[in-house]
Chains A and B, each alone.
Chain A
Amino acid sequence: MNVAIGQPIRRVEDDRLLRGQGRFLEDVRLAHEAQAVVLRSPHAHAHIRLLDPSAARAAPGVLAVLTHADLAAEGVKSLPPMTRDPRYEIKNSDGSRMPEPEHWPLAKDKVRHVGDPVAFVVAETRAQALDAAALIAVDYDPLPAVIDAASARAPGAPVLHDGAPGNRVLEWSVGDRKATDDAFAKAHRVTRLKLHNNRLICAYLEPRAAMASVTGDAITLYASGQGAHRFRETLSFCLGVAQDDVRVVMGDVGGGFGPRGFFQPENVLVALAARRLGRPVRWIGDRAESFTTDVQARDHAIECAVALDANGRFLALDVSSDWNMGAYVPARAVFAQIAHMGPVMPGAYRFPALHFTLRGYLTNMAPIYALRGIGRAEASHILERLIEEAAHEMKLDRVEIRRRNLVPASAMPYDNKAGSTYDSGEFEAIMDKALDLADWRGFGARKAQSRARGLLRGIGLCNFVENAGGAPSEFAEVKADPARRLDLYVGSGPSGQGHETVYAQVLAAELGLPFEDVRTHIGDTAIVKAGYGSAASRSMRKAGSAVVLGARIMIEKGKILAGDMMEATPADIEYQAGWFRVAGTDKSVHLYDVAAHARAKGEELSGAIDHKQPEETFPNGCQVAEVEIDPETGKVDLVRHSFVNDVGRVINPLLLDGQLHGGVAQGIGQAMTERTVYDADGQLLSGSFMDYCIPRADDMPFFATAFHEVPCAGNPLGVKGAGEGGTTGAPPAILNAIIDALRDFGATDIDMPAAPETVWRAMGARRPG
């Protein structure tokens, strides 16, 4: 099949997944496996006074019980926060360096959140390991728990980590303080809001797991993650072994969304136990463990304000956020948060002045990490709620106030004063397209119909700009095999995005060869030479670009070889659709024959590149949500949701739509259903699907999506990134729709998630009943 960019190719991954032949971590079986369970802290904050595993070690079937003492004896290092790693370091505004709180795979002296690992029990069967774990004697001396940023920084608050006095990890800001203050001083109107961007639990459907086997010095880690090479680096660091001695294998991954990129403590534990026992060790977490010990997301207490002139033009934006970071600092978490929140704080709008401060504090909750839309979801929440209220206060049309302040296409490239230069973007055109798609004008009639049925109806919109990750390089290698196939090796780490399909599509389109010729190899450090992984909507832009560039390198090499074969100089050779041809002649040779020629010479027809592309791209879009609310119960139904997106050039519209749908659904979850609740003692109350509500099929309508392609000049594919726009834009659009429906009740804000009781209460005294 000949394929082109922009074609809705069906996925090559699907056949195996639909037949139940997927290779998720839990599906992998090794001979002589031992089974492990983790004993976890029931306390949010406590000193460990005594830890006695002797009874467990003597229990039937038990092979090993590891505690921190065993880690120390083997020289294992704490998981690195990477706050001082030169690749990711960001300094505090006062120039100081951020702390690097220790994060031991098994607690040393102290536990800091419910679920913190305390001991690792390995036995012949999982049931035996569970039985033995119950025999471990642990004497905890509980400490008061810190469960929000305000109490974390209060004088006299219990300190989680000695290295982080006052529980403070960071205080960082961007913008011009004085210019912002001056603008507020002369403003015609100032609109202020206090918002909470709610703590989320990712809840990918495949629970966490890890498995390792060791032969001699060679450690193989079977992991579920978003990039095998990053995990190899971290495991080799923690164990103090050479990267060459570590192989990381990732098969099918049951959802990533960011949190799967975190190198979990259990990866170290299975490797250590396997090395000690000389047999494979498998740990399969359950959903309850996922809830308490998966890295979580968001949790910002925000104060924000916008200053406007009499015409509703923005003069300045002032934002500060207290970030509840949980008990530890996962690798790159600070980098990811700052890099994706600060530089897009002004979004699609012009602000002559702005200032943003982010303060991060440690608390006795699960650690916070990147989740789909990180930083940008917070920024769009802030901006679009402020704009909505400013319009309301100034009695301006909600669309008009946005139109007056959008960055015009003519201003590109545009310096947004928060550290980003937008390369391209047609924000107003996109907003208009979204309003049409949503039939904004027809809303009045739909509202009347709802009213006739006793229901409230509201509509809301959100314009957003994201920055897609600029972090390190990505690797791709293309090899032409004389057996008429192309082997493609890529360093990204998919978890459902369809990389095997789209990279093959890109490569086949680039080379003009059949799609079926391509075999994509991903997720094994023994097979793929280098890589970073998937994060921040970067895979198509970075890895996809690397595929194109790797193919071009191979073609250049092929021209030399073909020149050899056809006795021509490489400069005279053209390549097209599988054929190297001497320009202006009928002399040609096929790529696969060139590959055979190379093979015969002991060479390989291949091209590899570790593609560096530090510039960020700026995917953007507009979402329009429409809700119906039952005024007697506060129950919100999302009845329409429309979304126009500029992801740059569209590679595969079928898969792209899937990314947008899934992203919107996660945004719906944040806006309407997902509430992470810890009590005052730091116990997680929303610790199962019975209590933590991820959206179901009947919680959402069909989505209306459309693309508005403004290709990005900064990469060979012209792509901007597609993974996160849905999640970034949906919550404020939904909130604005709910508030629109509740205006008659005097509502001016609503907390996320907008659960029925929250909405019912927001209606205040005027609610029915």
Chain B
Amino acid sequence: MYAFNYHRAKSVDEAVKLQKSASEGSFLAGGHTLIPTMKQRLAKPSDVIDISGLKELQGISVAGGTVTIGAATRHGDVANSPEVKKAIPALADLAGHIGDPQVRNRGTIGGSLANNDPAADYPAAVLGLGATVHTNKRAIEADKYFKGLFETALEQGEVITKVTFPVAEKAAYMKFPNPASRYALVGVFVAKTKGGVRVAVTGAGPGVFRSADMEKALGASFEADAVASIKVSSKNLNSDIHASADYRAHLVTVMAKRAVAKANS
């Protein structure tokens, strides 16, 4: 790791100010992306601004058909939250399968979304449920938030403060994990929402994406059979030592089918 200055911010405003005054400031929440990257000397922030303890970024609440999760809320807290389990069980289920127990004890939703790893789980839930990412400056709809490989709509000086998820009528997430990393080789989140059916796919492409064909088919009939025969094009999908694009394309269909069945069960 390269040397850096460490700051424990007392508020989001102070965190932003600290970042502004640094030559390269990085926010630290759970640290489960930033610290490994720094350990490999792949990131060289001049200043690390710890926002993990900020009260304003904590907490889970459910009201008026919306689940609100503070950005510094840990995966384990979402997974074990009785409120989330009741309102959007698929979200708790997804959080309970991120990384391993120790990762879930530290990693946060804000950190995961700010990083936008193409194989991360949370982006699938955020896009699949049509959630809104709130920052210190604005509210960003999921459809406008994810910009591809490790890219998001976040700007310099912008900190995720919370995420609001509309409660879906039905939803489920199915993940086929990479056997080594346990990230999603393919993960599919399906949701039947007020605004229609949404299908979000993670792991398969350079970033989380929606499947219009599947959404259309499920809009007509929210049954597993409706997507079973939908072939996803392998063009633009990832190919690596763990899985070819063709296999990933195949898994998208299988996981979508299973997610629908799970949502209906």
Chain A residues in contact with chain B, CB under 8 A? 127, 130, 288, 632-633, 635, 673, 675, 677, 685-686, 689-693, 699, 755-757, 760-761, 769
Closest residue to A768 on the B side, CB-wise? B254
Q: Is B210's beta carbon under 8 Å from chain A?
A: no
**Contact A689 B180, beta carbon cutoff 8 Å:** yes
**Residues of chain A lying within 8 A (CB to CB) of residue B251:** 633
**Contact A675 B253, beta carbon cutoff 8 Å:** no
**Contact A769 B254, beta carbon cutoff 8 Å:** yes
**Contact B181 A691, beta carbon cutoff 8 Å:** yes
Kindly state the separation between the CA atoms of A675 and B180 in the bound complex, as whole angstroms.
10
Stretch at the interface among B123-131, B198-206, B214-222, B241-249: B241-249
Majority SS at the chain B contact face: loop
> Which 5 residue pairs spanning A and B have beta carbons closest together?
A693-B180, A690-B181, A757-B247, A693-B179, A677-B241
Kindly state the separation between the CA atoms of A571 and B254 in the bound complex, as whole angstroms.
81
**Contact A691 B247, beta carbon cutoff 8 Å:** no
Kindly state the separation between the CA atoms of A446 and B41 in the bound complex, as whole angstroms.
51
Contact partner, B247, options A673, A693, A760, Cβ 8 Å: A760
Closest residue to B181 on the A side, CB-wise? A690
**Residues of chain B lying within 8 A (CB to CB) of residue A689:** 180-181
Q: Is B106's beta carbon under 8 Å from chain A?
A: no
Give min CB distance, B145 to chain A, whole Å.
25
**Contact A756 B254, beta carbon cutoff 8 Å:** no
**Residues of chain B lying within 8 A (CB to CB) of residue A127:** 1, 3
Kindly state the separation between the CA atoms of A689 and B1 in the bound complex, as whole angstroms.
20
If A130-B41, A633-B254 are given as contacts, then 20 extra A-B residue pairs at C-beta distance below 8 Å, sorted by A number, are A127-B3, A632-B254, A673-B179, A673-B180, A675-B241, A685-B241, A686-B241, A691-B180, A691-B181, A691-B241, A693-B179, A693-B180, A699-B179, A755-B242, A757-B242, A757-B244, A757-B247, A761-B247, A769-B253, A769-B254
The 0/1 profile, CB within 8 Å of A marked 1, for residues 35-70 of chain B is 000001100000000000000000000000000000
**Residues of chain B lying within 8 A (CB to CB) of residue A675:** 241
Contact partner, A756, options B40, B179, B181, B183, Cβ 8 Å: B179
Kindly state the separation between the CA atoms of A693 and B251 in the bound complex, as whole angstroms.
20
Kindly state the separation between the CA atoms of A757 and B234 in the bound complex, as whole angstroms.
15
**Residues of chain B lying within 8 A (CB to CB) of residue A633:** 176, 251, 254
For B1, B40, B183, B242, the residue with the greatest tally of chain A CB atoms inside 10 Å of its CB is B242
Majority SS at the chain A contact face: loop
Closest residue to A630 on the B side, CB-wise? B254
**Contact B250 A769, beta carbon cutoff 8 Å:** yes
Closest residue to B254 on the A side, CB-wise? A632
Closest residue to B1 on the A side, CB-wise? A127
**Residues of chain A lying within 8 A (CB to CB) of residue B181:** 689-691
A-B contact pairs, 15 of them (CB 8 A): A127-B1, A633-B251, A635-B176, A685-B240, A685-B241, A686-B241, A691-B180, A691-B181, A755-B242, A756-B176, A757-B243, A757-B244, A769-B250, A769-B253, A769-B254
Kindly state the separation between the CA atoms of A693 and B40 in the bound complex, as whole angstroms.
20
Give min CB distance, B18 to chain A, whole Å.
24
**Contact A690 B180, beta carbon cutoff 8 Å:** yes
**Contact A760 B250, beta carbon cutoff 8 Å:** yes
Kindly state the separation between the CA atoms of A28 and B243 in the bound complex, as whole angstroms.
42
**Residues of chain A lying within 8 A (CB to CB) of residue B254:** 632-633, 769
**Residues of chain B lying within 8 A (CB to CB) of residue A685:** 240-241
Kindly state the separation between the CA atoms of A633 and B257 in the bound complex, as whole angstroms.
12
**Contact A755 B250, beta carbon cutoff 8 Å:** no
**Residues of chain B lying within 8 A (CB to CB) of residue A760:** 247, 250
Closest residue to B229 on the A side, CB-wise? A769
**Residues of chain A lying within 8 A (CB to CB) of residue B179:** 673, 693, 699, 755-756
**Residues of chain A lying within 8 A (CB to CB) of residue B253:** 769
Give min CB distance, A704 to chain B, whole Å.
24
**Residues of chain A lying within 8 A (CB to CB) of residue B41:** 130
**Residues of chain A lying within 8 A (CB to CB) of residue B180:** 673, 689-693
**Residues of chain A lying within 8 A (CB to CB) of residue B247:** 756-757, 760-761
Contact partner, B242, options A635, A691, A699, Cβ 8 Å: A691
**Residues of chain A lying within 8 A (CB to CB) of residue B176:** 633, 635, 756
**Residues of chain B lying within 8 A (CB to CB) of residue A686:** 241
